[in-house]
Amino acid sequence: MLIDSHAHLDLPQFNKDREAVIDRAFADVDKGGGGLTAIITIGIDLNSSKKAVEISNQNTEANQKIERNSDIYAVVGVHPHDAKTVTKNTLDGIKELSNNKKVVGIGETGLDLFRKLSPVDRQYKAFYDFLDLSGEVELPVVIHDREANAEVLKVLTERRGSYTPGIIHCFSGDWEHAKKCLDLDFYISIPGVVTFPKAKELHDVVKRLPSNKILFETDAPFLAPVPFRGKRNEPAYVRHTAMAAAEIRGDFPEKLMEAAALNTLKAFRIDLFD
């Protein structure tokens, strides 16, 4: 078992070959595929969230035709970069989407103090709104934190009880920070950055994370792991991320992949046999 806990399959980078990318992800490893069990595709604004839901529903239909079990699930929300687009209408739209059977989480939401593509006050406002929504609809929240460890942690601590804890995606920060996230009942998702030789802080976190709290992700089309660094990322490549983590931890790769996959199912409350 292997799951990509965070990809953006709806983005234009996949417009030319989306189906081939999905087929490669689910194809067996000995046939050159990623051997994935599931992909969680994440919306970045209302329109993208709609597409994420469509893609997950289309996959269910396709599966019925070709007797494939590997499935795609959607998370709906607005990325901090797009926080400036959030209106009452957006929140209503995301809430409505969250009723769909294939929607397993709310996000991604949080703070991005690195690029600040939306004003910081709008990022906070949207973050609060989506935390509230995750509590209201009882779906786990997917957190984006870039250059905002302390700020995100402060919000998650202050608002504890009002949201449904979920996943800190593309984890960045040291082990002390990771421990605080674990204390708030979050799972921690490890990106392809772990394959970069210089990512010592992340290597340390990966070494120490309990095996029942670790997830793997691509964040495709971004952040491709070695040996694809700098190229377009895709869900099949999550295997390279898991392999690197297994080596750092001294775990058997297949065993770690299975543990992380089960964690992902648990984090998103997915029942594969539904």
- Let me know: does 100 contact 65? Beta carbons within 8 Å: no
CA distances from 134 to 60, 130, 206 (A): 24, 6, 27
Chain residues binding Zn ion by CB under 5 A are: 108, 144, 219
Helix (H, G, I), strand (E, B) or coil at 190: strand
Helix (H, G, I), strand (E, B) or coil at 145: strand
User: What is the distance, to the nearest Å, from the Cα of residue 185 to the centroid of all Cα atoms in its chain?
Assistant: 16
Q: How far is the CB of 83 from Zn ion (least distance, A)?
A: 12
CA distances from 8 to 114, 170, 254 (A): 20, 13, 25
Q: Which is nearer to Zn ion, 78 or 242 (CB)?
A: 78
Q: How far is the CB of 248 from Zn ion (least distance, A)?
A: 22
Cβ count near 7 (within 10 Å): 28
Q: Which is nearer to Zn ion, 219 or 234 (CB)?
A: 219
Q: Which is nearer to Zn ion, 144 or 239 (CB)?
A: 144
Q: Which is nearer to Zn ion, 52 or 246 (CB)?
A: 52
The type of residue at 149 is N
Q: How far is the CB of 274 from Zn ion (least distance, A)?
A: 25
Q: How far is the CB of 69 from Zn ion (least distance, A)?
A: 25
Q: How far is the CB of 79 from Zn ion (least distance, A)?
A: 6
Q: Which is nearer to Zn ion, 34 or 191 (CB)?
A: 191
The token pair at 65 is 């035709």
Q: Which residue is nearest to Zn ion (CB)?
A: 144
